[in-house]
């Protein structure tokens, strides 16, 4: 196999949920730069519109946006319908849409909040993965599903208990699907970032003192930017990872080492 195929995504059609900002936007932008056709989703139509305006500077007509809530089956079906209508068969699905409205200790998290976290972070990931599998099988595609997890799913993190639990379940779901779908040629992996400078995680870095203290604890001595996660996503989406499945790839600046 020619080495250029390892990074060439010109033959790939991808869906990125939660692709209007942060890590999801960075992944969508990078995939467009590598030649893929990409459909991004977000819950708010205004956010989707703004993201598409930015992404079209990179991908032109190779990008479309769909306002969709990943935890609602009808929205997920519509997202895939629109992507297939625009590009054809789907080869890559990036499950990135997530929420974390609580920093409370796990035993104090209100049940309504806990349910909301699980609805988006676990039920949503499952719905998107299931629809992706159905479409890939229908088109006889040997595809890739990439679930965005977190290092907090691998190491207890006070204040992120409910979020951590939901993402630990995502890791398990990743491995189960990898076993179940291997014979279809569908690979399923996860990425576990550390602290990334996004609006989603700003409570962990917005205060300069908090950011400095966090960075000092990391072997690479800095908090990640969304672009630092992109390489892992491109690897898992491309033929470079064609023999990789069921893995949780940690991208944390060495956080898990200390």
6 falls in which pLDDT band (50, 70, 90)? low
Tell me the two tokens of residue 12: 């790939």
- 20-46: pLDDT as tens digits: 999 999 999 999 999 999 999 999 999
pLDDT band (50, 70, 90) for residue 1: very low
Q: Are 146 and 173 in contact (CB under 8 A)?
A: no
246 φ/ψ sector (left φ>0, alpha ψ -120 to 50, else beta):
left
163 is catalytic: yes
d(CA 20, CA 18): 6
Q: Tokens 């990743």 map to which residue?
A: 174
pLDDT at 233: 97
Report whether pLDDT(247) > 90. Answer: yes
**Closest by Cα among 89, 74, 176 to 128:** 74
This prediction has a pTM of 0.94
Per-residue model confidence as pLDDT tens digits over 216-234: 888 998 888 999 999 999 9
State the catalytic residue, choosing from 6, 125, 163, 243: 163
Q: CA 228 to CA 96: how far, in whole Å?
A: 15
Q: How far is it, in rounded angstroms, from Cα 116 to Cα 109?
A: 11
| CA dist., res. 68 & res. 16, Å (int) | 11
Q: Per-domain residue ranges for the chain?
A: 3-198+227-249
> Can you name the CATH fold of 3-198+227-249?
Rossmann fold (3.40.50)
């Amino acid at each position: 196999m020619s080495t250029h195929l390892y990074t060439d995504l010109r033959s790939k059609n991808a869906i990125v949920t939660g692709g209007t900002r942060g890590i999801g936007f960075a992944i969508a932008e990078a995939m467009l730069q590598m030649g893929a056709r990409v459909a991004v989703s977000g819950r708010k139509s205004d956010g989707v519109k703004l993201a598409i305006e930015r992404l079209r500077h990179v991908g032109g007509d190779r990008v479309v946006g769909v306002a969709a809530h990943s935890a609602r089956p009808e929205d997920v079906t519509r997202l895939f319908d629109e992507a297939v209508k625009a590009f054809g068969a789907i080869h890559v699905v990036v499950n990135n849409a997530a929420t974390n409205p609580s920093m409370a200790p796990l035993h104090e998290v209100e049940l309504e909040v806990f349910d909301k976290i699980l609805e988006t972070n676990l039920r949503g990931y499952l719905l998107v993965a299931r629809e992706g599998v159905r479409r890939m099988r229908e088109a006889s595609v040997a595809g890739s599903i990439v679930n965005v997890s977190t290092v907090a799913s691998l190491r207890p993190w006070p204040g992120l208990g409910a979020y951590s639990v939901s993402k630990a379940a995502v890791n398990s779901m990743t491995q189960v699907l990898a076993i179940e779908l291997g014979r279809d040629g569908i690979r399923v992996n996860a990425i576990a970032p550390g602290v990334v400078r996004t609006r989603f995680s700003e409570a962990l870095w917005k205060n300069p003192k908090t950011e400095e203290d966090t960075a000092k604890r990391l072997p690479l001595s800095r908090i990640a930017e969304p672009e630092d996660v992109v390489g892992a996503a491109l690897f898992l989406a491309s033929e470079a990872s064609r023999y990789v499945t069921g893995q949780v790839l940690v991208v944390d600046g060495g956080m898990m080492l200390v």
